[in-house]
Amino acid sequence: MNARIVGEQHRFVLQRIARRMMVEKGLVPDFPILAISELNEIHGPADLAEASSRDLRNLAWCSIDNDDSRDLDQLTFAESLSTDSVKILIAIADVDSIVRRSSALDNHAMENTTSVYTVAQTFPMLPEKLSTDLTSLNFESDRLSVVVEMVFDISGSLKASDIYRAAVRNHAKLAYNSVAAWLEGTGSMPQIVGTVIGLEENLRLQDRVAQTIGAVRRAHGALELETIQTRPVFEGHELKRLEADRQNRGKELIANFMIAANGVVARYLSSHNCPSLRRVVSKPKRWNRIVELAAERGSTLPREPNSVALEEFLVSAKSADPLRFPDLSLSVVKLLGPGEYVALRATDGVAGHFGLAVGDYAHSTAPNRRYPDVITQRLLKATMNGQASPYEYDDLVSLALHCTQAEDAAKKVERQVRKSAAALLLESRIGETFDAIVTGASDKGTWVRIFQPPIEGRLASGRDNVDVGHRLRVRLFQVDVEKGFIDFNRAR
């Protein structure tokens, strides 16, 4: 057991652990010299003249993201076409216009494939000069974008779509939580909304459409899961607590639009005979255990995976016990298993995403922080220009595997540093007992999450006859901040 770490050192300890974990997991924490040299030759954003003929800067575009987000990948706008149809526009940052394929910057982005967000430090996929400035859709900045246009009818069905390049301007930088509080009626309208003509009405229209298309997806089996994510709260460099960061109306608005846009992108590439990268969760990893979880709550699920039946069960379970629904959601997420990237030819069969209830899903909406989205952007731009695919199919197969592996490594880094942060918070509470839920059970070990604070650790003893979703009392046995170990024993 390590000696107690004083509060003033918390952030520095976690930063050191984060860097070590980046290297251990095969990721690169620093930009190479060639990439920095290349960066120094970039002195401004992409030339707006590169866009086709569309200038959409006058539209009431806005961004909605986390409070502290600086790498802004997308803007949204809605336009009512008639009493029964609405046009939704999603502007996606045109990263490819600055980060050219096979450049030193691109090679580094391809190596890590994603920005890594740890509780103490972010390791951006692209240098901040780009990702938070020159390729970011920043407030009051003119930027190039790739626009996904979608027309929905009153029932939430997609009636038409298009993709094109355009110049855009972010007129309001908004945050999920304040937008959600306003839309949900628990807070006031964000002040900046009132300064942009028509934005209040536009956001309410966006919200109505997003809620409608979300309901359509759920009717087709999209899973409405509500896991508890935590974010660190520092005072200076001392970690004080981990706060729960829950789903809300603002996050749902953006998520529903991004899922719809990613589907449009996938189908656009397929219709133009272009290969693509898809994000899939083809089949739940442990459906039998999900069936058992439902049975323990008085519900019956079919023997074969069925997303519609699972969503009906989840809706019922949330209504019956909303306070404990996040615990059930966490169990289901673990049992569904991770997603992966796959390469598809235009003539291949559809590889769907079980949890999202969509058959076509190509990551495209976050190119500042996710390399598959940069690949997809290049495929889109080549297709729009009538050019051949910039990637051969075999290249996409290799990239899909690499992106999956690198993303898994990044998640392990983020998870490890979260565990080290949690160990810091718990190191003074050795011997205390907690209510917990089993979140993982395999030959490698059994894992539990305590409820207050919401922290996960290993069940070192008392593992017999427990499985994912079971509840029990545990006693904190030991922690190791450097390794991120938090060990519990089952309390008798």
State yes or no: pLDDT of 8 exceeds 70.
no
CATH at residue 460: 2.40.50.140
**Within this chain, do residues 418 and 441 fall inside the same structural domain, yes or no?**
no
pLDDT digits (tens, 9 = 90+) for 293-325: 889 888 888 888 777 787 788 778 888 877 667
Residue 332 lies in a domain: no
Give the count of domains, the chain. 2
pLDDT digits (tens, 9 = 90+) for 199-209: 999 999 999 99
Q: Domain span at residue 447?
A: 429-492
Give the residue, 181 or 288, on which the prediction is more confident: 181
**Within this chain, do residues 32 and 145 fall inside the same structural domain, yes or no?**
yes
pLDDT digits (tens, 9 = 90+) for 348-395: 655 555 554 445 678 899 999 999 999 999 999 999 999 999 999 999
Which of 422, 454, 469 is the last residue before a domain boundary? Answer: 422
**Within this chain, do residues 388 and 476 fall inside the same structural domain, yes or no?**
no
Q: Which of 452, 447, 444, 455 is nearest to 490 (CA)?
A: 447
**Within this chain, do residues 267 and 156 fall inside the same structural domain, yes or no?**
yes
**Within this chain, do residues 455 and 477 fall inside the same structural domain, yes or no?**
yes
Which of 393, 422, 451 is the last residue before a domain boundary? Answer: 422
**Within this chain, do residues 453 and 394 fall inside the same structural domain, yes or no?**
no
**Within this chain, do residues 180 and 114 fall inside the same structural domain, yes or no?**
yes
Residue percentage of the chain with pLDDT more than 90: 60
pTM of the predicted structure, to 2 decimals: 0.87
Give the residue, 439 or 420, on which the prediction is more confident: 420
Mean pLDDT of 148-165: 95
Residue 327 lies in a domain: no
Q: Give the model's pLDDT for residue 454.
A: 84
Which of 388, 406, 422 is the last residue before a domain boundary? Answer: 422
pLDDT digits (tens, 9 = 90+) for 246-283: 789 999 999 999 989 988 998 899 899 999 998 877 67
Q: Which of 78, 222, 61, 208 is nearest to 143 (CA)?
A: 61
